[in-house]
Amino acid sequence: MSEETAVRREFLLQKGRFVMAKDKALSEREIIILVKRGNKEAYQAIVERYMKRAYYIALGFVRNPQDALDISQEAFIKAFRRIKSFDIERPFFPWFYKLMKNFCLDHLKRRSRIQEVPLEESRVLKEEHEDREMKEVLWKGIESLPVEQRETIILRYFQQLSYQEISEITGKPVGTVMSSLFYAKKRLKETIKKYLNLGG
Protein backbone atom coordinates (compact mmCIF):
# COMPACT_ATOMS: atom_id res chain seq x y z
CA MET A 1 0.00 0.00 0.00
CA SER A 2 1.47 3.37 -0.99
CA GLU A 3 1.87 6.10 1.60
CA GLU A 4 -0.75 8.22 -0.14
CA THR A 5 -3.29 5.41 -0.12
CA ALA A 6 -2.54 4.75 3.54
CA VAL A 7 -3.15 8.40 4.41
CA ARG A 8 -6.41 8.40 2.50
CA ARG A 9 -7.51 5.19 4.11
CA GLU A 10 -6.75 6.53 7.56
CA PHE A 11 -8.57 9.72 6.63
CA LEU A 12 -11.64 7.84 5.46
CA LEU A 13 -11.79 5.89 8.68
CA GLN A 14 -11.97 9.07 10.69
CA LYS A 15 -14.64 11.74 10.91
CA GLY A 16 -15.10 15.39 11.73
CA ARG A 17 -12.26 17.40 13.20
CA PHE A 18 -9.69 14.80 12.22
CA VAL A 19 -9.81 16.21 8.73
CA MET A 20 -8.37 19.46 9.99
CA ALA A 21 -5.80 17.73 12.16
CA LYS A 22 -4.56 15.80 9.16
CA ASP A 23 -4.94 18.76 6.85
CA LYS A 24 -1.19 19.18 6.58
CA ALA A 25 -0.75 15.55 5.64
CA LEU A 26 -3.13 15.84 2.72
CA SER A 27 -2.65 18.22 -0.15
CA GLU A 28 -5.61 20.17 -1.50
CA ARG A 29 -5.56 17.89 -4.51
CA GLU A 30 -5.85 14.81 -2.32
CA ILE A 31 -8.69 16.30 -0.33
CA ILE A 32 -10.54 17.22 -3.53
CA ILE A 33 -10.17 13.64 -4.76
CA LEU A 34 -12.01 12.54 -1.63
CA VAL A 35 -14.63 15.27 -2.10
CA LYS A 36 -15.17 14.10 -5.67
CA ARG A 37 -16.09 10.72 -4.18
CA GLY A 38 -18.78 12.45 -2.13
CA ASN A 39 -16.87 12.67 1.16
CA LYS A 40 -18.48 15.57 3.05
CA GLU A 41 -15.96 15.43 5.92
CA ALA A 42 -13.18 16.09 3.43
CA TYR A 43 -15.17 19.00 2.04
CA GLN A 44 -15.28 20.48 5.54
CA ALA A 45 -11.51 20.94 5.32
CA ILE A 46 -11.89 22.86 2.06
CA VAL A 47 -14.75 25.01 3.35
CA GLU A 48 -12.93 25.89 6.57
CA ARG A 49 -9.78 26.73 4.65
CA TYR A 50 -11.51 29.22 2.37
CA MET A 51 -14.62 30.40 4.25
CA LYS A 52 -13.14 33.67 5.52
CA ARG A 53 -11.72 34.64 2.17
CA ALA A 54 -15.03 33.77 0.51
CA TYR A 55 -17.03 35.77 3.04
CA TYR A 56 -14.93 38.91 2.77
CA ILE A 57 -14.89 38.86 -1.02
CA ALA A 58 -18.66 38.41 -1.08
CA LEU A 59 -18.99 41.23 1.44
CA GLY A 60 -16.90 43.45 -0.81
CA PHE A 61 -19.42 42.85 -3.56
CA VAL A 62 -22.74 42.90 -1.69
CA ARG A 63 -21.84 44.93 1.46
CA ASN A 64 -24.40 43.22 3.68
CA PRO A 65 -22.81 40.78 6.20
CA GLN A 66 -25.77 38.40 6.34
CA ASP A 67 -26.08 38.31 2.56
CA ALA A 68 -22.32 37.73 2.28
CA LEU A 69 -22.55 34.76 4.64
CA ASP A 70 -25.52 33.31 2.75
CA ILE A 71 -23.94 33.84 -0.64
CA SER A 72 -20.59 32.34 0.31
CA GLN A 73 -22.31 29.31 1.86
CA GLU A 74 -24.55 28.87 -1.17
CA ALA A 75 -21.47 29.01 -3.37
CA PHE A 76 -19.80 26.27 -1.32
CA ILE A 77 -22.94 24.15 -1.67
CA LYS A 78 -23.03 24.65 -5.41
CA ALA A 79 -19.31 23.93 -5.66
CA PHE A 80 -19.83 20.61 -3.85
CA ARG A 81 -22.59 19.65 -6.24
CA ARG A 82 -20.45 20.56 -9.23
CA ILE A 83 -17.20 19.19 -7.92
CA LYS A 84 -17.17 16.36 -10.47
CA SER A 85 -16.66 18.91 -13.24
CA PHE A 86 -13.72 20.49 -11.40
CA ASP A 87 -10.31 19.86 -12.94
CA ILE A 88 -8.22 18.29 -10.20
CA GLU A 89 -5.01 19.68 -11.69
CA ARG A 90 -6.10 23.26 -11.03
CA PRO A 91 -6.34 25.12 -7.72
CA PHE A 92 -9.75 25.07 -6.08
CA PHE A 93 -10.22 28.71 -5.12
CA PRO A 94 -10.18 30.39 -8.58
CA TRP A 95 -12.82 27.88 -9.72
CA PHE A 96 -14.87 28.49 -6.60
CA TYR A 97 -14.42 32.26 -6.97
CA LYS A 98 -16.07 32.21 -10.40
CA LEU A 99 -19.10 30.43 -8.95
CA MET A 100 -19.33 32.82 -6.03
CA LYS A 101 -18.82 35.94 -8.12
CA ASN A 102 -21.80 34.89 -10.20
CA PHE A 103 -23.90 34.53 -7.05
CA CYS A 104 -22.79 38.03 -5.97
CA LEU A 105 -23.64 39.59 -9.33
CA ASP A 106 -27.04 37.85 -9.42
CA HIS A 107 -27.70 39.12 -5.93
CA LEU A 108 -26.78 42.68 -6.87
CA LYS A 109 -28.98 42.52 -9.93
CA ARG A 110 -31.95 41.34 -7.84
CA ARG A 111 -31.24 43.90 -5.14
CA SER A 112 -31.08 46.77 -7.59
CA ARG A 113 -34.64 45.90 -8.57
CA ILE A 114 -35.80 46.02 -4.97
CA GLN A 115 -34.08 48.71 -2.93
CA GLU A 116 -30.86 50.25 -1.78
CA VAL A 117 -29.26 48.70 1.28
CA PRO A 118 -28.29 51.13 4.04
CA LEU A 119 -24.65 52.01 3.57
CA GLU A 120 -23.75 51.59 7.22
CA GLU A 121 -24.38 47.89 7.43
CA SER A 122 -21.28 46.50 5.85
CA ARG A 123 -18.29 48.19 7.32
CA VAL A 124 -16.71 49.76 10.30
CA LEU A 125 -15.32 53.26 9.96
CA LYS A 126 -12.18 53.88 11.93
CA GLU A 127 -12.80 57.56 12.38
CA GLU A 128 -16.45 57.92 12.98
CA HIS A 129 -17.01 61.52 12.06
CA GLU A 130 -14.64 63.64 10.05
CA ASP A 131 -14.03 61.32 7.13
CA ARG A 132 -17.30 59.45 7.27
CA GLU A 133 -18.77 61.27 4.33
CA MET A 134 -15.68 60.73 2.22
CA LYS A 135 -15.80 57.00 2.82
CA GLU A 136 -19.46 56.88 1.96
CA VAL A 137 -18.64 58.56 -1.33
CA LEU A 138 -15.75 56.18 -1.87
CA TRP A 139 -17.96 53.14 -1.27
CA LYS A 140 -20.48 54.42 -3.77
CA GLY A 141 -17.60 54.92 -6.17
CA ILE A 142 -16.47 51.31 -5.68
CA GLU A 143 -20.01 50.13 -6.32
CA SER A 144 -20.25 52.05 -9.52
CA LEU A 145 -17.03 50.60 -10.97
CA PRO A 146 -17.28 48.09 -13.81
CA VAL A 147 -17.22 44.51 -12.45
CA GLU A 148 -13.63 43.83 -13.58
CA GLN A 149 -12.30 46.93 -11.84
CA ARG A 150 -14.41 46.37 -8.78
CA GLU A 151 -13.17 42.84 -8.26
CA THR A 152 -9.54 43.91 -8.51
CA ILE A 153 -10.18 46.62 -5.88
CA ILE A 154 -11.87 44.08 -3.57
CA LEU A 155 -9.11 41.50 -3.97
CA ARG A 156 -6.30 44.05 -3.68
CA TYR A 157 -7.51 46.15 -0.75
CA PHE A 158 -9.78 43.81 1.21
CA GLN A 159 -7.81 40.62 0.66
CA GLN A 160 -4.38 42.21 0.33
CA LEU A 161 -3.60 40.01 -2.66
CA SER A 162 -0.68 40.60 -5.00
CA TYR A 163 -1.18 41.19 -8.72
CA GLN A 164 -0.06 37.62 -9.35
CA GLU A 165 -2.60 36.21 -6.89
CA ILE A 166 -5.39 38.36 -8.33
CA SER A 167 -4.42 37.14 -11.78
CA GLU A 168 -4.62 33.50 -10.64
CA ILE A 169 -8.03 33.96 -9.05
CA THR A 170 -9.65 36.00 -11.81
CA GLY A 171 -7.92 34.22 -14.67
CA LYS A 172 -6.77 37.55 -16.15
CA PRO A 173 -3.17 38.33 -17.14
CA VAL A 174 -1.08 40.29 -14.62
CA GLY A 175 -0.85 43.21 -17.06
CA THR A 176 -4.65 43.39 -17.24
CA VAL A 177 -4.89 43.30 -13.45
CA MET A 178 -2.37 46.14 -13.22
CA SER A 179 -4.20 48.20 -15.78
CA SER A 180 -7.61 47.46 -14.22
CA LEU A 181 -6.38 48.59 -10.83
CA PHE A 182 -4.83 51.72 -12.27
CA TYR A 183 -8.06 52.82 -13.93
CA ALA A 184 -10.14 51.87 -10.89
CA LYS A 185 -7.88 53.90 -8.59
CA LYS A 186 -7.88 56.82 -11.00
CA ARG A 187 -11.66 56.85 -11.02
CA LEU A 188 -11.99 56.45 -7.26
CA LYS A 189 -9.37 59.11 -6.61
CA GLU A 190 -11.44 61.45 -8.74
CA THR A 191 -14.60 60.75 -6.71
CA ILE A 192 -12.93 61.76 -3.44
CA LYS A 193 -10.75 64.52 -4.85
CA LYS A 194 -12.44 67.33 -2.91
CA TYR A 195 -11.96 65.49 0.39
CA LEU A 196 -8.26 64.95 -0.21
CA ASN A 197 -7.62 68.61 -1.03
CA LEU A 198 -5.97 67.54 -4.21
CA GLY A 199 -7.01 70.48 -6.31
CA GLY A 200 -6.59 70.40 -10.04
Partner 1 sequence: MDHQKIKELISSYHDGELDEAQKKRVERHLEECPECRKEFEEMGKFEEVMSQMELKKPQKEAWQMYWTSVYNRLERGIGWILFSIGAIILLFFGGYKLVEGIIQDASTPLILKIGILSILGGLVVLLVSLLREQLFVRRRERYKEIEK
Write out the residues near partner 1 by the rule CB under 8 A: 40, 44, 47-48, 51-52, 55-56, 59-60, 65, 69, 73-74, 76-77, 80-81, 95, 98-99, 101-102, 105-106, 109, 121-127, 131, 134-135, 138-139, 147, 156-158, 162-163, 178-179, 181-182, 185-186, 188-189, 192, 196, 198, 200
Cβ atoms 107, 67 nearer than 8 A: yes
Between 8 and 156, whose beta carbon lies closer to partner 1? 156
Q: How far is the CB of 179 from partner 1 (least distance, A)?
A: 7
Between 3 and 127, whose beta carbon lies closer to partner 1? 127
| Cα–Cα dist 117/196, whole Å | 27
Cβ atoms 55, 72 nearer than 8 A: yes
Between 89 and 200, whose beta carbon lies closer to partner 1? 200
Q: How far is the CB of 126 from partner 1 (least distance, A)?
A: 5
Between 30 and 44, whose beta carbon lies closer to partner 1? 44
Instruction: Calculate the CA 135 to chain-centre distance.
Output: 22
CA angle at residue 195 from 124 to 127, to 5 degrees? 25
Residue among 168, 147, 142 at smallest CA distance from 157: 142
Instruction: Calculate the CA 180 to chain-centre distance.
Output: 18
